[in-house]
């Protein structure tokens, strides 16, 4: 896989159109600096720069690229139609990492759920010092537990958010679906 910037990688993906004729605006999908800072404050950690950039430029815009229908280490990412808004990611992080009476939680306190499926699978962004910026998968069938710092119960997906996008882009093209590939969302 050749090195590309996150901007170049995002331009290579198929994104759902922004319907300007119906009054839809690109900034409705993006996170502002204030929203990012508020989310970071609520989880107690600064988000990795590549994830911050992505949320400021693409955010929760619909990902219509068929290459997202891939399996990494036996786990399907076909649920990845969009990434969670930063405020929802922060709320879910707090809710899912809250411990029950036995000290168990759905996710470790150092993880940010950046996307999730209806069945409960989740892509998690590691905010710990040891694995900062890496992306992990939590399977829906995994019960709440007392988490260890080695993330042994989770599945490693990518070393960074940029690498996750690069893995998707590196998948073979399935044909042109007619969606706008590179309608950038300027700041």
DSSP string, 35-84: HHHHHHHHHTSPPPHHHHHHHHHTTT--B--GGG--EETTEE-TT-SSPP
Question: pLDDT confidence of 3, banded at 50, 70, 90?
Answer: low
Measure the CA–CA gap between 102 and 120, rounded to whole angstroms: 21
Read off the pLDDT of residues 132-174 as tens digits, 9 standing for 90 and up: 999 999 999 999 999 988 899 999 999 999 999 999 999 987 6
Measured over the CA atoms of residue 153, residue 140, residue 46 and residue 49, the dihedral's sign is: positive
- What average pLDDT score do residues 14-33 get? 87
pTM of this prediction exceeds 0.85: yes
Burial 100-124 (b: 16+ CB within 10 A, else e): eeeeebbbbbbbbbbbbeeeebbbb
Please name the residues in contact with 18: beta carbons below 8 A apart, sequence gap of 6 or more. Answer: 24, 25, 26, 29, 61, 180, 183, 185
Of the two residues 20 and 14, the one the predictor is more confident about is 14
Please name the residues in contact with 162: beta carbons below 8 A apart, sequence gap of 6 or more. Answer: 5, 6, 9, 50
- 149 alpha-carbon distance from chain centroid: 21
pLDDT at 144: 93
User: Residue 175 pLDDT more than 60?
Assistant: no
Percent of the chain with pLDDT over 70: 91
Please provide the average confidence, as pLDDT, over all residues in the chain.
88
User: Residue 183 pLDDT more than 50?
Assistant: no
Closest CA to 81 of 66, 101, 98: 66
pLDDT at 91: 96
């Amino acid at each position: 896989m050749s090195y590309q910037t996150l901007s170049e990688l995002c331009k290579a993906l198929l994104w759902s159109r922004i319907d300007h004729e119906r009054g839809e605006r690109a900034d409705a999908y993006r996170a502002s600096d204030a929203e990012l800072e508020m989310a970071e404050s609520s989880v107690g950690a600064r988000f990795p720069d590549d994830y911050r950039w992505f949320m400021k430029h693409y955010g929760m815009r619909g990902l219509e690229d068929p290459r997202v229908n891939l399996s990494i280490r036996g786990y399907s990412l076909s649920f990845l139609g969009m990434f969670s808004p930063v405020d929802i990611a922060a709320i879910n992080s707090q809710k899912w990492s809250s411990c029950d009476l036995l000290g168990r939680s759905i996710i470790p306190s150092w993880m940010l759920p950046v996307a999730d499926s209806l069945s409960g699978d989740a892509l998690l962004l590691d905010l710990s010092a040891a694995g900062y910026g890496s992306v992990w998968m939590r399977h829906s069938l995994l019960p709440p537990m007392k988490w260890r710092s080695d993330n042994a119960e989770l599945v490693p997906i990518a070393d960074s958010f940029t690498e996750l996008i690069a893995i998707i882009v590196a998948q073979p093209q399935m044909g042109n679906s007619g969606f706008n590939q590179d309608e950038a969302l300027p700041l």
